[in-house]
Amino acid sequence: MADNLKITKTISLEEEFGIKNAKVHYQLSPEKLHEATLEKKQGVEADSGALAINTGEFTGRAPKDRFLVMDEVTKEDVWWGDINQSFDAEKFDLLYNKVIDYLSGKELYARDGYVCADENYRLNIRVVNEYPWSNLFCFNMFLRPEESELENFSPDWKIVNAPGFHANPETDGTRSHNFAILNFKRKIALIGGTGYTGEMKKGIFSALNFILPTQKNTLPMHCSANVGEDGDTAIFFGLSGTGKTTLSADPNRKLIGDDEHGWTNENTIFNFEGGCYAKVIDLTEEKEPDIFRAIKPGAILENVVLGKNGKVDFKDDSITQNTRVSYPIYHIDNIQASSVGENPKNIFFLTADAFGVLPPISKLTPGQAAYHFISGYTAKVAGTEAGIDEPVPSFSACFGAPFMPLHPTRYAEMLSKKMKDAGVNVWLINTGWTGGPYGTGSRMKLKYTRAMITEALDGNLENVEFENHEIFGLAVPQSCENVPDEVLNPKDTWSDKEAYDKKARHLAKSFQDNFKQFEDYANTEIMKGAPKA
């Protein structure tokens, strides 16, 4: 889209946001935003033509500095606590006015976009950014209106993004100088003190996770999705590092989206976004060809290290392990153009079990599916965080707890109903360790995981023999094309069977301990899905 060449519309930031005397760049093209970033020396160009920027102090989200305004809209529905922290409405208004005063008189970048590819659920977004590269991120990640739609564009939600503004916790009600606050009554995402672009993406995701279930009876999901030649849709849930983006990028299936989707009453799956935001630590063209080839002009690399001639060292984590790239979804060749899929047939819960005890593939009952969905298990391994020198269980409800304003059981019950209504198969996939825990065993081979998922998608596991895992109760297939039989049963891969049993019971106990916080809300069917320690 050219820089105001054909766009005759102008917007008043003073009238709509209260921002005065700003020099406003509206709906700039990616090329212009790229140029502006280089001119302001806020980024450099990599050898691929992509823009490389550094997000500054924050290279990831700051979950302890995320708040929801408590008011008549949110008070009764939000599951308040350590994740969904409350913020006073009057304090929000005062802080908003301080941010607006800070942005007044500055050179700013405004953009109109929307989320939700299904027209029936579309939510229009207007964003104001302090930095041009933040605005380019919004071009990549939100869906892009046609020029003809801009003239009468009316925002449903607004994002005000001021990385250079620092709050005063003593007077502003924040925990520190940075903050990300959602106000559902005013329909504003207010972000300050942090340049990490993911706060904008996840802020709107959090808003949809409240709006869609409570107002549209639609299930929001932190997942990737693709569709096969026969029109069957597959959904992949998983926390960071479990292979969600990798495994949904299948050459034989079209990508709907890689991170955030809705599941409607009409049994369709739609992408929330217009782009992808992928991790690039240790990226190679061999391992992740789609992502590697998407890093070209228009893409933004975050917090990577560049060597001579602008070549990215993808192994270098000296800035952060959380190096990333954002790009519009059309940088991927094999995509579902509408970003909408029908006929969901298979759901995959991905976990990287560093204890090496979960089967590489197992089939879940509806109760087990709800239990594992609420649990959202994976494991942290040595070196991922300071102080971690052996595997640690990590649970994130609904595979996305930091973004879920409602109680997890509300999402789980919606998922269970949709599973039953649609006749969906649910599979637990362990992309983690086999033959022993992290440090002893080895990581499950990607080719085996891909083979198991392919067999499940093709329906070839419907007629094989299954055995229930003695501790987790999961139905484990005893044969799978292109996968050695001994790999399918994790206990068989351990030389010390007693050590396996001990480790499996230890992990089952971790599941049970974590689930105590949900027991009072969970129904009998969900509780029957628990493992036996």
Catalytic residue, from 32, 111, 158, 202: name it. Answer: 202
Is 61 designated active site?
yes
CB distance 94 to 76 below 8 Å: no
Angle between helices 198-215 and 408-422 (to 10 degrees): 70
Tokens found for residue 50: 């992509």
Catalytic residue, from 59, 134, 242, 245: name it. Answer: 245
> How many CB atoms within 10 Å of residue 193?
23
Report the C-alpha gap between 350 and 361 in whole angstroms: 10
Describe the chain by its helix, strand, coil percentages, rounded to 5.
Answer: 30, 25, 45
Tokens found for residue 488: 């399918």
Is 245 designated active site?
yes
Catalytic residue, from 25, 32, 34, 222: name it. Answer: 222
Catalytic residue, from 25, 32, 34, 61: name it. Answer: 61
Catalytic residue, from 32, 66, 244, 254: name it. Answer: 244
Angle between helices 408-422 and 366-375 (to 10 degrees): 150
Is 134 designated active site?
no
Is 528 designated active site?
no
Catalytic residue, from 86, 176, 214, 240: name it. Answer: 240
Tell me if residue 83 falls in helix, strand or coil. Answer: coil
Catalytic residue, from 34, 324, 380, 469: name it. Answer: 324
Residue type, 184: F
Is 469 designated active site?
no
Residue in the structure block whose two tokens are 């969904």? 84
Is 202 designated active site?
yes
- Residues in contact with 470: Cβ distance below 8 Å, sequence separation at least 6, in sequence order: none
Is 122 designated active site?
no
Tokens found for residue 198: 């993911």
Residue from 149, 184, 165 nearest 98 by CA:
165
Query: What values do phi and psi take at 87, rounded to 5?
Result: -135, 140
**What are the residue ranges of helices labelled H in 249-386?**
289-294, 366-375
Catalytic residue, from 118, 259, 290, 353: name it. Answer: 259
Contacts 24+ apart (CB under 8 A), 10-18: 11/110, 11/126, 13/108, 13/110, 13/128, 16/126, 16/158, 17/100, 17/128, 17/158, 17/160, 18/97, 18/100
Report the C-alpha gap between 16 and 340 in whole angstroms: 32
Catalytic residue IDs: 61, 202, 222, 240, 244-245, 259, 324
